[in-house]
């Protein structure tokens, strides 16, 4: 008979009066839920994730030619007719 090995299952042990906070995150293209036992840890993780998201967003346009974009926006501005004043 083949011997079965027990595989370790990730677990988290908390006391009954301790909060358990689950926050969904996107990591490497997958949605995961990270669990925290304290609000400070959860807040810090969310803040860190927000900073990383902002940095990724800033880098999303790094391949664009800034001068060409400024020229295109200027051309669009000059070719467009102005919006008439709005009266309230």
**How much is the pTM?**
0.47
The full DSSP string for 8-24 is: PPP-----TTS--EEEE
CA angle 68, 74, 76 (to 5 degrees): 100
pLDDT, tens digit only, all 88 positions of the chain: 566 677 777 787 888 888 888 988 888 888 999 888 888 888 888 888 888 878 777 777 778 888 998 999 999 999 999 889 998 8
Q: Where are the domains of the chain?
A: 21-79
């Amino acid at each position: 008979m083949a011997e079965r090995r027990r595989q370790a299952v990730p677990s988290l042990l908390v006391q009954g009066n301790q909060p358990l906070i689950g926050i969904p995150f996107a990591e490497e293209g997958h949605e995961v839920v990270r669990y925290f036992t304290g609000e400070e840890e959860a807040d810090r993780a969310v803040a860190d994730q927000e900073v990383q998201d902002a940095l990724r967003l800033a880098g999303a346009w790094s391949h664009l030619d800034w001068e060409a974009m400024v020229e295109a926006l200027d051309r669009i501005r000059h070719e467009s007719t102005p919006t008439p004043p709005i009266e309230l």
